[in-house]
Amino acid sequence: MANTKISELPTGTANVADAFVGNQSGTSKALSVGSNVDAASGDKLLGASSDGDVKQLTPKMVMMDDNVITPVSWTPTLYGATTAGTTTYDLQAGHYVKIGTLVYCFFRLGWSNLTGTGGARIGGLPFAATDFSPNQRHGINFSYYNSLSLPSGTILGGFITDTADYITLLNVSNITQNDVTDLQTEITTAGEIYGSFHYIVD
């Protein structure tokens, strides 16, 4: 029943599993709900059943195959905002999953030398952020970082601005409110950063 919309199924259809999500050739399919679709054991799919009742999607029907959403690789980079420079990497690893316009990303980044100047950025994001109005900033969770020369009382921070396909790295005070500066000289010639984030794309 590949590529069949639920709205196109005949009344009384009991097995809608093949049409529900589509693990078809590695591509997930959108759910298209029609009316008069009966599921097994009396469950209904958000449509008028044969008895005229409108039912909600049951937990049994929303279970998805583990292979429907598959992580995809992306390659994080580290560079300077003023001069990109050249970075020698020990580790570049990233994965993401995209569900509609929401993207979940994870990455690990290690380097042994870099020559970029200006604010530090992590690039290579799989998509550019959508354009909100007013400007939104998507926050980043850093689970681990090593060999960054951060001043006392500060932590590593970062965000993705509208339309950007990179992370702006920040030096954030955990003492003084709104004391935030671009990470520049704090990036040493060798270090590691691990993190995760989610953001909205077009």
Q: What is the pLDDT of residues 110-142, one digit of tens each?
A: 999 999 999 999 999 999 999 987 778 899 999
Q: Are residues 103 and 155 in the same domain?
A: yes
Q: 65, 83, 109: which is the final residue of a domain?
A: 65
pLDDT of 106 strictly over 50: yes
Give dist(CA 32, CA 101) in Å, integer: 18
Q: 65, 89, 117: which is the final residue of a domain?
A: 65
Q: What is the pTM of this model?
A: 0.68
Let me know the angle formed at the C-alpha of 84 by 78 and 87, rounded to the nearest 5 degrees: 45
Q: 20, 37, 65: which is the final residue of a domain?
A: 65
Question: What is the total count of domains within the chain?
Answer: 2
Q: Are residues 81 and 121 in the same domain?
A: yes
How confident is the model over 154-163, as a mean pLDDT?
Answer: 94
Q: Are residues 111 and 172 in the same domain?
A: yes
